[in-house]
């Protein structure tokens, strides 16, 4: 390949950096991709790929690799980064240039990784990210002198600002893509033997080099602000910090109900109006039944909970971006260590409040295999967002919207349900510790990021992604299941002498009555028993399934009513509370079990997970149902 063609060939760029350096934000800036930007280690556990154009207009492939402190891995995500950098990933060529993203406000930590990468001898650029923030806070660093000391180009970037990556794109324009004939075959290291585990002398030499290089570059750190020090003294205090955390979580769950009321009413009105319009326009046939009683009743009853899910994620994203969540992890480390969990488990478990799948994947950041397995097994007990539609429906039906002092009673119940999930997870972890692993406590070592105002762009992207995922699920899997459920609930037609609702004679009615034998001791009727089946695919589908079943089994005025007043009038309080207890432990959706199988490389653990969750759910529902019956008799 001649020099001209080589200069115009596609350039492969690997973004490497320690956690919290702003690497993923820089990836977003370069490629325009909508990736979640978090403020703690572990959120980026797989490499992501995007495309951009450098200063010459050449097409570049950008790889966003997992955060790593070193190329000698102690976690699975660091191993992924090492293998991609060295060209050891099967079917993927090595990068033409490494961009090591360094946090300009935490240079000593970032520089250790820079020196590790420099040992490889590959083309490299150091991107000093958050350079504007470093200058504002009083950090001092001569970029030209740092570049001379390292022997590689060093440029400044501001990943969250428009044009903040222009200097990097200009620097990339100077690099030529490798000749494909010279690129090592996939699976071979770029420099065989170049990356050996450092011995004590290597480590000591790197430790000496870091301050020497920073001194040559004129690096100076400002004194930490008194406000930040005072905030940390409160937020990480063993007593005051726990109180603050409890108050924060409590207010979040209050807001989920209080703020969502108006948009939920608007969505409900829109769904009802759509259904009524179709009833008016279409003749009374199977198509109208499918559209109104199947799709509109099913999907609409799930879509109405989108405002509550977005409010919950708004607070989670704000707490992430502000720098508070790593402090909460540090605060809870001793408590988690007491039940046999690593302090690093806090981040995966927190992710599981959104969905157990990313939480289970984030457990890769835990070095110990036993700690990682314990975290995976209890992640489903965190109350994922798919439970929220079920909780909201049942709380709205059976818990009055009254005030308890300055608080909303429904919000109090929601907080209690989330709290029950956390306590259950800690209890299961304690059992795993004492019966299986006998693990001793090891303190968490975690670098705390600076406090900062959440980035509005990242916040909006995160909320849009959550809305898109939820609506995609509504329009994909939930819509498909509602159509299948409508068919099962509509056919076969009832006999001419039938006296009950048509659904009782359908396939769904037969299945529901069969399952009712199993679930009758915990107060579930045949309609609930039917709804649990599609709920195995995704928990929120259970609400849509109930909407479909009750739309087809109700008669008279109930057909024109929303789902909430129907179940409020037809279920007992004991049944409603029993179903709430069931969903604290409800067996996982099939997608989560599939991820557990992929992460553990065995069917043993997903089967154990599904089994123990079913047993816990049944026992909790049985106790709740019987106790409520006794108290209300």
User: Model confidence over 535-577: pLDDT tens digits?
Assistant: 776 676 777 778 767 765 554 334 334 677 878 888 999 999 9
334-364: pLDDT as tens digits: 777 777 777 678 778 876 776 777 678 777 7
Using DSSP's 3-state secondary structure scheme, residue 492 falls into: coil
- Residue 145 pLDDT greater than 80, yes or no: yes
The pLDDT score that the predictor gives to residue 620 is 95
- Angle at alpha carbon of residue 257, lines to 381 and 628, rounded to 5°: 60
What is the pTM assigned to this prediction?
0.61
Of residues 94 and 541, more confidently modeled: 94
Both 185 and 92 in one domain: the answer is yes
In a domain, 112, yes or no: yes
Both 200 and 117 in one domain: the answer is yes
In a domain, 460, yes or no: yes
In a domain, 26, yes or no: yes
Both 189 and 294 in one domain: the answer is no
Output DSSP code: residue 68.
-
Which residues fall within 8 angstroms of residue 322, CB to CB, at 6 or more apart? 39, 451, 452, 453, 454
Between the two ends of the chain, the Cα-to-Cα distance in Å is 86
Of 155, 152, 162, which is closest to residue 141 (Cα–Cα)? 155
Q: Which helix (H) or strand (E) holds 90?
A: none
* For range 599-621, the mean pLDDT: 91
- Residue 474 pLDDT greater than 80, yes or no: no
In a domain, 399, yes or no: no
Cα 341 to Cα 100: distance, rounded to the nearest angstrom: 32
Both 150 and 273 in one domain: the answer is no
Which residues fall within 8 angstroms of residue 258, CB to CB, at 6 or more apart? 408, 411
- Residue 517 pLDDT greater than 60, yes or no: yes
Residue 148 — pLDDT band, cuts 50, 70, 90? very high
The pLDDT score that the predictor gives to residue 298 is 65
The pLDDT score that the predictor gives to residue 382 is 87
Among residues of the chain, what percentage have pLDDT more than 90? 18
Average pLDDT, the chain: 79
Measured in degrees and rounded to the nearest 5, phi and psi for residue 61 equal: -100, 120
* For range 520-541, the mean pLDDT: 80
Of 84, 87, 82, 85, which is closest to residue 72 (Cα–Cα)? 82
Of residues 8 and 340, more confidently modeled: 340
Task: Give the best-scoring range by mean pLDDT among 22-36, 408-422, 578-592.
Answer: 408-422
Question: What is the token pair recorded at 569?
Answer: 């009038």
Both 466 and 545 in one domain: the answer is yes
Cα 20 to Cα 39: distance, rounded to the nearest angstrom: 6
In a domain, 37, yes or no: yes
Of residues 42 and 497, more confidently modeled: 497
Decide which of 182, 199, 216 is a domain's last residue: 216
Using DSSP's 3-state secondary structure scheme, residue 447 falls into: coil
- Residue 222 pLDDT greater than 90, yes or no: no
- Residue 579 pLDDT greater than 90, yes or no: yes
**How many structural domains are present in the chain?**
2
| Per-position DSSP letters for 280-339, written without gaps between them | HHS-SSHHHIIIIIIIIHHHHHHHTTHHHHHHHHHHHHHHHHHTHHHHHHHHHHHHHHHT
Both 283 and 136 in one domain: the answer is no
In a domain, 461, yes or no: yes
Decide which of 571, 589, 615 is a domain's last residue: 571
Question: Do the Cβ atoms of 423 and 350 come closer than 8 Å?
Answer: no
Both 161 and 275 in one domain: the answer is no
In a domain, 437, yes or no: no
Both 263 and 157 in one domain: the answer is no
Residue 476 — pLDDT band, cuts 50, 70, 90? low
In a domain, 199, yes or no: yes
Task: Give the best-scoring range by mean pLDDT among 43-47, 76-80, 371-375, 624-628.
Answer: 624-628
* For range 156-176, the mean pLDDT: 89
Both 156 and 281 in one domain: the answer is no
The pLDDT score that the predictor gives to residue 13 is 93
Output the domain CATH number for residue 70. 3.40.50.300
The pLDDT score that the predictor gives to residue 475 is 64
Both 17 and 144 in one domain: the answer is yes
Residue 302 — pLDDT band, cuts 50, 70, 90? low
The CA distances from residue 379 to 173, 358, 361, 366, 613, in Å, are: 45, 10, 10, 14, 11
Of residues 614 and 526, more confidently modeled: 614
| Per-position DSSP letters for 113-176, written without gaps between them | HHHHHHTTT--EEEEEETHHHHHHHT-B--HHHHHHHHTS-EEE--TTSTTTTHHHHHHHTTPP
Of residues 389 and 281, more confidently modeled: 281
- Residue 190 pLDDT greater than 60, yes or no: no
Q: Can you give the residue range of the structural domain that contains 491? A: 259-304+455-571
Decide which of 199, 216, 233 is a domain's last residue: 216
Question: Do the Cβ atoms of 365 and 344 come closer than 8 Å?
Answer: yes
Cα 121 to Cα 473: distance, rounded to the nearest angstrom: 46
Using DSSP's 3-state secondary structure scheme, residue 502 falls into: helix
379-426: pLDDT as tens digits: 999 888 778 888 888 898 898 888 877 778 888 898 899 889 889 988
Question: Do the Cβ atoms of 49 and 65 come closer than 8 Å?
Answer: no
Using DSSP's 3-state secondary structure scheme, residue 71 falls into: coil
Using DSSP's 3-state secondary structure scheme, residue 560 falls into: helix
Both 195 and 266 in one domain: the answer is no
Question: What is the token pair recorded at 432?
Answer: 């795993």
The pLDDT score that the predictor gives to residue 477 is 64
By DSSP bridging, strand 11-17 and strand 124-129 are unpaired
Question: Do the Cβ atoms of 503 and 549 come closer than 8 Å?
Answer: yes
Question: Do the Cβ atoms of 175 and 11 come closer than 8 Å?
Answer: yes
Of residues 446 and 542, more confidently modeled: 542
Both 285 and 168 in one domain: the answer is no
């Amino acid at each position: 390949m001649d020099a001209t063609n080589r200069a115009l060939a596609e350039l492969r760029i690997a973004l490497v950096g320690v956690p919290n350096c702003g690497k993923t934000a820089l990836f977003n800036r370069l490629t325009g991709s909508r990736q979640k930007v978090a403020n703690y280690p572990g959120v980026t556990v797989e490499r992501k790929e995007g495309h951009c154009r450098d200063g010459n207009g050449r097409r570049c492939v950008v790889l966003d690799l997992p955060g790593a402190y070193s190329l000698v891995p102690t976690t699975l995500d660091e191993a992924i980064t090492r293998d991609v950098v060295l060209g050891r990933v099967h079917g993927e060529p090595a990068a033409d240039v490494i961009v090591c993203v360094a946090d300009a406000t935490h240079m000593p930590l970032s520089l250790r990784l820079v020196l590790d990468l420099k040992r490889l001898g590959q083309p490299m650029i150091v991107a000093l990210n958050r350079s504007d923030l470093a200058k504002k806070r009083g950090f001092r660093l001569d970029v030209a002198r740092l570049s001379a000391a390292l022997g590689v180009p060093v440029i400044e970037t501001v990943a969250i600002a428009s044009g903040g990556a222009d200097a990097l794109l200009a620097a990339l324009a100077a690099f030529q893509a490798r000749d494909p004939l010279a690129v090592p075959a996939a699976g071979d290291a770029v420099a065989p033997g170049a990356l050996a585990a450092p011995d004590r002398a290597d480590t000591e030499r790197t430790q000496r080099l870091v301050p020497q290089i920073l001194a040559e570059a004129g690096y100076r750190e400002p004194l930490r602000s008194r406000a930040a020090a005072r905030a940390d003294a409160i937020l990480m205090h063993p007593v005051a910090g726990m109180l603050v955390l409890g108050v924060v979580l409590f207010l979040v769950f209050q807001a989920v109900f209080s703020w969502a009321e108006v948009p939920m009413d608007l969505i409900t009105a829109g769904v009802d109006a759509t259904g009524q319009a179709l009833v008016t326009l279409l003749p009374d046939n199977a198509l109208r039944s499918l559209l109104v009683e199947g799709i509109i009743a099913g999907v609409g009853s799930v879509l109405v909970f989108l405002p509550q899910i977005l409010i919950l994620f708004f607070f989670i994203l704000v707490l992430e971006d502000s720098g508070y969540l790593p402090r909460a992890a540090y605060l809870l480390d001793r408590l988690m260590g007491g039940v046999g969990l690593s302090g690093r488990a806090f981040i995966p478990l927190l992710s599981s409040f959104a969905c157990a799948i990313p939480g289970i994947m984030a457990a890769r950041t835990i070095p110990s295999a036993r700690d990682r397995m314990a975290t995976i097994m209890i992640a489903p007990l965190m109350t994922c967002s798919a439970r929220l539609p079920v909780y909201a429906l049942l709380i709205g039906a059976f818990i009055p919207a009254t005030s308890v002092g300055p608080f909303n009673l429904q919000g109090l119940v929601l907080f209690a349900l989330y709290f029950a999930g956390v306590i259950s997870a800690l209890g299961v972890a304690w059992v795993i510790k004492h019966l299986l692993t006998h693990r001793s406590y090891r303190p968490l070592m975690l670098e705390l990021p600076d406090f900062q105002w959440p980035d509005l762009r990242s916040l909006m992207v995160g909320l849009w992604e959550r809305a898109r995922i939820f609506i995609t699920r509504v329009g994909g899997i939930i819509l498909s299941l509602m159509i299948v459920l409508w068919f099962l609930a509509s056919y076969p037609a009832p006999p001419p002498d039938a006296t009950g609702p048509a659904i009782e004679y359908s396939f769904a009615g037969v299945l529901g009555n069969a399952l009712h034998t199993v679930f009758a001791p915990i107060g579930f009727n045949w309609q609930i028993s039917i709804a649990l089946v599609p709920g195995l695919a995704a928990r929120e589908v259970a609400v849509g399934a109930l909407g479909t079943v009750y739309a087809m089994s109700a008669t008279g005025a109930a057909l024109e009513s929303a789902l909430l007043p129907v179940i409020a009038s037809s279920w007992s309080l004991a049944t409603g509370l029993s179903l709430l207890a069931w969903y604290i432990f409800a067996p996982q959706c099939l997608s989560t079990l599939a991820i557990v199988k992929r992460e553990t490389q065995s069917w043993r653990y997903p089967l154990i997970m599904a089994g123990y969750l079913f047993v816990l759910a049944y026992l909790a529902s049985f106790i709740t149902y019987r106790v409520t019956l006794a108290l209300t008799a």
